[in-house]
Amino acid sequence: MPLELSVTLWSVWLFAFGACVGSFLNVCIYRLPAGLSVVWPPSHCTTCLKRIAWYDNLPILSWFLLRGRCRHCGECFSVGYAGIEALTGLVFAGFYLAYFVWQVRGPGLARWDVYAVHMALLAALVVCSVIDLRTKEIYTVVTYGGMLLAVVLSGLLPAVQAGSHVPRWFAESHLDAAVSSLVGLVVGGAVVWVTALLGRLAFRREAMGFGDVLLMGMIGAVLGWEGAVLTFFVAPFFGLVYGLWQLLRHRDHEVPYGPFLSMGAGVVMLAQRGLVAWFGPGMSAVWQAVRGG
């Protein structure tokens, strides 16, 4: 099969698969704040409570075929549902191209197990980000579950932590990878917790919530301590414009920061190699200082 055709087929398939994942993310985004189960009952109209048939639940396509309305009662469905599905599909296809075709992580370093773990993280970040934008809350069922899964998967798939520059404590690479994930979890959570503490002391009000601490812990558990630190410094570039707009238009000083940490994590996944090359020596010096030389 020609390479161009293979890349096209993989991109289309992963977009479709990502859109299906996005359909489930929509369920999580709606039901978690409502305190409902994400597995039961099956998808249904929230107005007439009629169950949505499988042919009316096709990601993106069904929204357009039904013109954004329930087949039974005519209630409008938000375009946000199709938007989340399209976004997730684009993320799955785009990261495939970045990792395997454009090789942003380095020649020969693309791996399907790492890609799968990163897509799982991005899916969790989409859920956390959208809920945070709507409610200014980050749900621990996602972050606690994500942190636990990240440590377990790192132990099972050491390649996930291959870029983490931490000392080897064990002869077994699987144990080292799990410990590297734990180090990333602690460092990720700690940088946000310290920032929140300093902000509270300086401004006499909560600067960042504990949900942001847990979110960064989940990011660090997957991307390692370097990835967590880089995410922390990349995120403000996304948050600054939104924060100024909120302040000028709504006079709202409270900005949900989870979406910007999520965007920062996405950038680090794509550009960690270059960012570490730029900032790696300084970060390594800090790490050595923390370890006591």
| pLDDT score at 124 | 98
Per 3-state DSSP, the chain is made up of helix, strand and coil in percentages (nearest 5) of 75, 0, 25
Residues 6+ apart with CB under 8 A from 287: 165, 166, 225
Residues 6+ apart with CB under 8 A from 140: 211, 214
Name the nearest CA neighbour of 29 among 70, 75, 88, 76: 88
Regions of the chain where pLDDT drops below 70 = 1, 165, 167-171, 203, 205-207, 243, 246-248, 250-253, 278-293
Show the DSSP H helices in 136-209 as ranges: 140-156, 173-203
How far is residue 19's CA from residue 25's CA, in Å, rounded to a whole number? 9
- The predicted-structure confidence for 149-179, as pLDDT tens digits, reads as follows 999 999 999 999 987 767 666 657 899 999 9
- The predicted-structure confidence for 269-287, as pLDDT tens digits, reads as follows 999 877 877 665 555 555 5
| pLDDT score at 283 | 58
| pLDDT score at 5 | 81
Mean pLDDT of the chain: 87
- Sign of the CA dihedral 283, 289, 291, 293? positive
| pLDDT score at 71 | 85
How far is residue 264's CA from residue 174's CA, in Å, rounded to a whole number? 27
* Residue 107, SS3 per DSSP: coil
- The predicted-structure confidence for 48-68, as pLDDT tens digits, reads as follows 878 888 787 889 999 898 888
| pLDDT score at 178 | 94
